[in-house]
Amino acid sequence: PSKTALSDEIGALGRPIVLGFSQLGSESDWRLANTKSIQDAATEAGMTLMMDNAEQSQEKQFEAIRSFIRNKVDVIAFAPVIQSGWEPILKEAKQAGIPVILSDRAVDVKDSSLYVTFIGSDFYDEGVKAGKYLLDKMRDHPGVVRIVELAGTVGSSPSIDRGQGFRDTIKSREDLTIVRSEPADFTKEKGKEIMKSFLEQEKEPPHVLFSHNDDMALGAIEAIEEAGLKPGKDIVIISVDGTRQAFEMMVEGKINCVIECNPLLGPMIMQAAKEIIQGRTLPKRIAPPESVFTEEMAAKEVDNRKY
């Protein structure tokens, strides 16, 4: 490394910063891109990363965070699988004097001094964007618009907030109704399974699918095609994330709109960790820039997708 890079690595501590990161799982393409972004950014920043994959278990996240505390890491970061239940472990970190960065998902705590900053998207706004697209898409649709929803992990902030933002936005029109909503854990497999059951339970196919992420939408597309229906035509599909695979589906007209959610948080996390060690004050909330993409724009954008 060059002299400047080296002095940057050594930084305020006189040695590389040690970051403990508890990743919540590997359920989606979004998550895989997020994990890689964190690993690459840590290497790039010359930091020592201790990373643990909790496989969707909050208990395992507690264990990982406790082991980071025992190992006296400089900074702890984690992506909380669900929103509730974090106060005790955050207090343990605080007592140990280790600063905490929240990554990707939010926590529901009264005392916001328990973490330094939250780096992640505005999921409520993503739900609003999905709702706005639908209002526009259905502006001339006669009669009732029947919507089914594939929700994400129960109790997770993206699922709660995307669902709420969407509902708050479509409620301005009484003819838009959510006829079914079930959690499908953000996975392709579950998305397919639940969509299949929706199609079996409903007498007529729904007009719209709102999927809380791309992986579930991809699974649902398989179920829709197996039922002899055309995704994107017979059923309007709106999804969230913006993975390359979802863009390919948009190019084929099988997904109509994708609300972008940016997983490439690694550089922002490393920057925040460095600034914390330097003793700087950070904003309580750092959100990445995000767009909305429709099928009309997909062909132009697909090759720019990084995840």
Asked if residue 295 binds ligand GYE (CB under 6 A), the reply is no
Residue list 173-192, contact with ligand GYE (CB under 6 A): 186
CB of 21 to ligand GYE, least distance (A): 15
CA dist list (Å): 282 to 101, 117, 126, 188, 269: 11, 7, 24, 37, 12
CB nearer to ligand GYE: pick between 159 and 274? 159
CB nearer to ligand GYE: pick between 158 and 183? 158
Asked if residue 213 binds ligand GYE (CB under 6 A), the reply is yes
If 0-12 CB within 10 Å is exposed, 13-18 middle and 19+ buried, where does residue 4 land? exposed
Tokens for 235, please give them: 């059923």
Asked if residue 241 binds ligand GYE (CB under 6 A), the reply is yes
Q: Please count the residues of this chain forming the interface with ligand GYE, following the rule CB under 6 A.
A: 12
Which of 20, 127, 131, 158: binder of ligand GYE (CB under 6 A)?
Answer: 158
CB of 33 to ligand GYE, least distance (A): 9
State the first-to-last Cα distance of the chain, in angstroms, to the nearest integer: 28
CB of 299 to ligand GYE, least distance (A): 23
Asked if residue 124 binds ligand GYE (CB under 6 A), the reply is no
Question: What is the spatial distance between Cα 190 and Cα 176, in angstroms, rounded to a whole number?
Answer: 25
* C-beta of residue 32 within 8 angstroms of C-beta of residue 40: no
Asked if residue 30 binds ligand GYE (CB under 6 A), the reply is yes
Question: What is the spatial distance between Cα 200 and Cα 229, in angstroms, rounded to a whole number?
Answer: 13
CB of 55 to ligand GYE, least distance (A): 13
| Closest by CA position to 38, among listed 27, 51, 55 | 51
Which of 20, 22, 23, 28: binder of ligand GYE (CB under 6 A)?
Answer: 28
- DSSP secondary structure string for all residues of 90-152: HHHHHHTT--EEEESS----S-GGGSSEEES--HHHHHHHHHHHHHHHTTT--S-EEEEEEE-
Which of 74, 104, 161, 260: binder of ligand GYE (CB under 6 A)?
Answer: 104
259 φ/ψ sector (left φ>0, alpha ψ -120 to 50, else beta): beta
Which of 23, 61, 86, 105: binder of ligand GYE (CB under 6 A)?
Answer: 105
Asked if residue 261 binds ligand GYE (CB under 6 A), the reply is yes
* C-beta of residue 21 within 8 angstroms of C-beta of residue 73: no
Task: Count the Cβ atoms, other than its own, within 10 Å of residue 19.
Answer: 26
Using the rule CB under 6 A, give the single segment among 22-30, 93-101, 171-179, 296-304 that binds ligand GYE.
22-30
Asked if residue 240 binds ligand GYE (CB under 6 A), the reply is yes
Judged by the rule CB under 6 A, the positions of this chain that interact with ligand GYE are 27-28, 30-31, 104-105, 158, 186, 213, 240-241, 261
